[in-house]
Chains A and B, each alone.
Chain A
Amino acid sequence: MKLLDILDKKLTERFDATHHKADILEEGTAIYKHREWRGLSDTAYDFGQWCRLWGILLKWAVPKAPQNVKAIWRYRWMYHYLTVPAFFDRLCANMKGADLRAARNNLNYLAANVTGTFNTIFDADRNLHPGSAKAEELNKKIICVDELLPSLIGKGFPNCETILFQEYAMYLPSVIQQHSPVHYINQMEIHGLPADVCPLPSFEAGLAIENDFPLIGCCMLTSNMPCDGSIMTSMIQDRRIGLPTQPLNIPLRWKREEVQEYAVAEMQSAIDFIEKHTGEKFDWDAFKEGCEIWNEQNKAKFEKWDLNRTDIPPHTGASAWLYRIFEHQAVPGDPKALANDRKVNKYLEAQVAKGICPKEIRHRAIIWNTPCNNYANFNNWLLECWGIDSVCEMIDLHGSELIDTSSHESMLYGLAKMYQTSTMRAHTKGGYEVMYDDLWRKYEEFHGDMIIMFDQISCKGVGAISGLFEEGAQQRGIKMCIVRQDLMDPTSISRKDMRRDVNVFMQNVMGEEPLDPTLVDFDDDQSW
């Protein structure tokens, strides 16, 4: 034991890059010259989880190697998935103890689930298998839904696969590789569509124009979420993809009881639509089982929020919020996700019980508005450079009501409510009371001492009330740092620009010195 302690000490003296992290990053690409040293035990754990990740990737890649090579050859966005180990490294930067264990387990769950879904997608893809009878047979049982609609409705069709249509070609690549949207946004602009729309629907339109969506499924549920830009891109995708399509409309003012009847009717209509196109009958028992698992997943999330309200917030950053988005949208009702939640919560509870805090925290920040996809590890940088821990993040706070599974009616009501608290409907497009009032409530609940407010320059909805936020913070005497970003377009606002906004605020308003001076200004423009 003593020998291991000596070894740990020697290696830490030699390799620990805490407070000079930029020294182990390559100039421009910010690829690690060597991976992080986190102490012997945590580095060994990280190594084990990295091996597990490669195991997951090889388990996917090898059995269907010709098909997967064809997919990488065919789809530009597939290249970005090859960089996933680097993406996970970025999201786990500077993490130790329970935070590292939670992050690595969440991310590896995500990798296992996504690669499994790739098999479903590529087996049925009409682009990869033109004219294949086998692919057509598989497509009869694939329900496509807009990536902003949770897939829980699909639990009522246990013989079918429910796929978030844009999740794998658009959303995930946009967080994995910051430059992945640029080519597709350019395509959209070259074809004369307005350049001032949010990059998310622009990216989707570009994929449709270039025919880079896998052609799968027997029907498609689109959505009015989150905004008008998204509704417009649904039409462009609809023309290109050519599947029977039905919009599932989600009320905006979801707190109001009078909209619930409409929301439930929309759910029923969507079920009828899927029944018609798949030839399957909605299975209420299977659906009930899915809802009950989802309730348990949600309870596990409530526990995490409770833990982050303590003096030792054990699990923060993108590995928490990205996992939450994915769990809410892609895998609600999945027993494997629930098992992962319980495993992760055990790590977190144990650390809080012991009173250990393996990170330097100077500030407890509430992060409000949609996070920046092209800088998913922004939270890690905030903590490493300035000691700002993101104890509460708006994007992490959706889907917070349990579904009453006592009757068919109550389940439909709960399902409709769950959809109304989806990503970007729960807050940003859910009305004044959830976007504005909730911020101050969360600030109190999570014992914040500052707010990081994203100014997503192409989101007109939130942009309209940015002045109210500034006024509200001023009235309450809360320190609020406004950080400009453009969701997934690094050509308009780069990571460096975002960091500059924080640096200026921390130096001039807060009058502080950075924890890691090498991270204040460094070049990562070519980084993934």
Chain B
Amino acid sequence: MLKLLKRLCITAVVLFVAVVCIYWFNLDMKLVKLLEKPLMQHYDNMERDHRM
């Protein structure tokens, strides 16, 4: 039980530190920026039904 609690505490601390790092270094938005180019290429290559 104590061992499980210890593991849970360590996991929580590691997760918290990881989330703080993502926040502080803006890693979430840097990742989204990486997706921009391939996604825009995908949208440009989609078959479209252009009509007025």
Would A54 and B48 count as touching, CB distance under 8 A? Answer: no
A236 — which chain B residues lie within 8 A by C-beta?
52
Give the interface segment out of A25-33, A429-437, A438-446, A469-477.
A25-33
Total count of chain A residues near the partner, CB < 8 A:
27
Residues of B within 8 A of A34 (CB): 24-26
Q: Which of A233-264 contact B (CB under 8 A)?
A: 236, 239-240
The contact string, 1 if C-beta is below 8 Å from chain B, for chain A 58-85, is 0000000000000011001001001101
Of all chain A residues, the one with the shortest Cβ separation from B29 is A86
Q: Is A347 an interface residue (CB 8 A)?
A: no
Minimum CB–CB distance from B32 to chain A (whole Å) comes to 5
Q: Is A282 an interface residue (CB 8 A)?
A: no
Contacts of A187 in B (CB 8 A): 50
Q: Does A138 contact B (CB under 8 A)?
A: no
Contact A210 B26 (CB under 8 A): no
A369 to chain B minimum Cβ distance, whole angstroms, is 31
| CA distance in complex: A82, B33 (Å) | 9
Residues of A within 8 A of B36 (CB): 79
Contact A86 B50 (CB under 8 A): no
Least CB separation from A47: chain B residue: B23
Given the complex, which residues of A lie within 8 Å of B23, measured CB to CB?
A: 35, 47, 50-51
* Docked CA distance A33–B30 (Å): 9
Give min CB distance, A155 to chain B, whole Å.
Answer: 35
Q: Which residue of A lies closest to B33 (CB)?
A: A31
A268 on the interface (CB 8 Å rule)?
A: no
Q: Bound complex: CA of A31 vs CA of B27, how far in Å? A: 10
Query: In this complex, what residue of A is CB-closest to B48?
Result: A210
Chain A residues, Cβ within 8 Å of B40: 76, 79
Q: Residue of A at shortest CB range from B28?
A: A85
- Confirm or deny: B4 has a beta carbon within 8 angstroms of a beta carbon on chain A: no
B42 within 8 A of A: yes
Q: Which residues of A contact B25 (CB under 8 A)?
A: 33-35
Q: Which residues of A contact B1 (CB under 8 A)?
A: none
> A191 in the interface, Cβ–Cβ < 8 Å?
yes
Does B39 reach chain A (CB closer than 8 Å)?
yes
Chain B residues near A54 (CB-CB < 8 A): 28
* Residue positions of A touching B, CB distance < 8 A: 29, 31-35, 47, 50-51, 54, 72-73, 76, 79, 82-83, 85-86, 89, 187, 191, 209-211, 236, 239-240
Q: List 13 A-B contacts (CB under 8 A).
A: A29-B33, A32-B26, A33-B25, A34-B24, A35-B25, A35-B26, A47-B23, A50-B23, A83-B29, A187-B50, A191-B50, A210-B50, A211-B50
Q: Which 10 residue pairs are nearest across A and B when measured between Cβ atoms?
A: A76-B43, A86-B29, A32-B26, A82-B32, A79-B39, A211-B49, A47-B23, A34-B25, A34-B24, A50-B23
Q: A73-B42, A89-B26, A209-B52 are in contact. List 7 more A-B contacts (CB 8 A).
A: A29-B33, A32-B26, A35-B25, A85-B28, A86-B29, A86-B32, A211-B51
